[in-house]
Structure formats: structure tokens, C-alpha cells
Structure 1
């Protein structure tokens, strides 16, 4: 190989490394939310929109609004006892809340069961859900205000009260990918 060919090959290799390095910097600088695993189903909000102020019934049986969670990152999960994908993800939501609850984070379960707490409380107990209690939205007013397309649907609300995105369907909420996504929005809000 002549020295000109050798220099051309080395120059091209260096240029390739430079382009790869710049591409890596561009990915880091984009500040896109990390989405892998089940979190590829997470759809970031296209614009800042406050969470609805529609009242629902807290786990303590009192009327409440999502505004009372300001300052925390909140994962609002709409579910029902008769929804198999909802039931499938409940244990992972329970474990997630147990792990992140002291990090200014809270999972808010919102059941749309028409029978309210008398239906879902024994169900959660039987399922072994220990870290979470559910709120009630028996007429699905809050769910409609969010424009949730079905069950389960989970919304991530930032500490400022704005909707950061949603995930339709079930997910492994205690996975590394889910925690990474949640922490991204907790630290970038």
C-alpha cells in the first residue's frame, strides 16, 4: 500500500470517528426522555398542559384534586378490577411506589370501578398490594377529563402539575427503564 493510500485510509477512519463522536454528542444534547423496554409505549406530551382539576375520591374517602400533589412527580394510573392488563401491572406499581415514595414521587391509583372502595379495597388486599391504596373515580369523570383512551392508562405529572406524557396499556413500572424515565422527568421539571 502506498503512503498516499495509507494516509487516505487513516484520514477516512479519523473522519468516521469524528462523525461518530459528534453524533454521540448530538444524542446526549437532545435531552430526549429515555425510552426503552415497556417505556417505548410512553408518549411524551407535545405541549405543556396542566393536569385536570376534576375532583375524585381519595383513598381516605375524601374529595381531592390532583393539585394537592404539587411539588411531587405523580404517576396517575387509571385501572379497574375487571381489567386483566390493569391487574397484571398492579404489583409493579406497588413495588415502584415502595422504592421511590421517599424521592418526592407518588403513584396515585384511580379505580373506575362503579362500586368504589367496597369493590377495589378487598381486591387489592387479596392481590397482596401493600404499598398502594386506590382512589375512586366511579363515574370516570377524571379519566374523561384526561381524555384517556382506555384501561389501563397511566399519566406522568411533573412537580409543576403539568402532564409530561402517557402510556396506554400495561407496563413493568418497577423496571430500570421505567425508573429512568420517571427520574428524567423528576429532575427536568
Structure 2
């Protein structure tokens, strides 16, 4: 019974998080709008290779702003990894944008299927208005920003998977 109650609560919280990010103006920044093109950016991977949002056109992209000191960020990462693995290879990408000046060494070799990027100067974080972590932006296959989810959620929940597959 406890499992059922926890599952129902998790489903409710997931839907509530998606509902808060309903179409219209994003919460923090007037330059970021739901149903408008997501601002492109180019950031280095943790190994120094440059990656841009535009290079993932044709795929669903979760742009996830996180920091190693954020417990909610760390808690949601395994569910994001399971989410990526539940989609056909290459159809969904998680771009994990770290907002710290320097990523701690233990986070440089995480076993997740993410693209880890570093936004050490905070310019992309500022562009997106991602001031509360974790803050995730869902970008569709055409590069249009579809949702914003502030706070950690179970990304592999059936409701989230169904929503993402509908994009």
C-alpha cells in the first residue's frame, strides 16, 4: 500500500511540475518563451570539446542546468539516464549544463548517457534564466522550447515518457 501511495504522489508531483511550465512566458526570463525557438549556445564538454544545442536538431533535447552541490540535481540524474535509455538510440538527448566554476573530479566520470557541458561563466544559465536548480528545458525536434521543469522530478515516470514521445 505504501508503494502505491508513493507512486501516486510521484505521479501527481510530476504532472504538477509539468503544469507549472504551461505554455506562455517562462517564469524567470522575458527572452525565453515556451513555443518559441530555444536560444542556441555553444559550450565545452568536460573534456573541452565544443557542443551546441543546434547540433541536436531532429532529436528531443532536455537542457538540464545542474550543480554538484544540488541534492535534487543529483537525485534526478539516474531517472534521466533511464529515460534516455528507454528511447531508441539518439532520439532523446540530455544536455547536462553544469553551472559551477569548476566541476568536481568525482562528477567528471559519471556513468550516465548525458552530454555534460560546462557553463563556468554562467552566460547560458543567465540567457535561460535558470536560477533555481535543477532547471530543465524540453526542446522538441525542431528546436522549439516546449516545457520548463524547475525542480527535480522522476524523468522516467510513465507520464513524462508519454509526453516526450508525443513531441
TM value normalised by structure 1: 0.69
* Inter-partner Cα distance in structure 2 for 1:170 and 1:37: 10
Say yes or no: does 1:68 pair with 2:55: yes
Deviation per CA, 1:95-136, whole angstroms, max 9, x where unpaired? Answer: 1112225261111111112114xx2x52264xx633234111
Which 10-residue stretch deviates more, 44-53 or 103-112?
A: 44-53
The runs of at least 4 aligned residues of structure 1 exceeding 6 Å deviation read none
Q: Name the structure 2 match of 1:161.
A: 143
**Distance in 2 separating the partners of 1:88 and 1:183:** 23
Which residue of the partner structure matches residue 4 of structure 2?
none
Q: Report which of the two has the higher share of helix.
A: 1
State the Cα RMSD in Å.
2.1
Alpha-carbon distance in structure 2 between the residues aligned to 1:66 and 1:167: 18
Report what 2:64 is aligned to: 77
Match of 1:50 in 2: 37
2:129 to 133, 147, 158: 147
Within 1, Cα distance between the matches of 2:101 and 2:132? 16
Aligned 1:3-152 pairs, distance under 5 A: 37-42=13-18, 43-46=21-24, 47-102=34-89, 104-116=91-103, 119=104, 122-123=106-107, 125=109, 129-152=111-134
CA–CA distance in 2 between the matches of 1:39 and 1:159? 22
Instruction: Kindly indicate whether residue 159 of structure 2 is the aligned counterpart of residue 172 of structure 1.
Output: no
| Residues 133-165 of structure 1: CA deviation (Å, up to 9, x unaligned) | 411111221111112231000110011111001
Contact 1:37–1:177 (CA under 8 A) maintained in structure 2: no
The aligned length equals 146
State the TM-score, normalized to the length of structure 2.
0.77
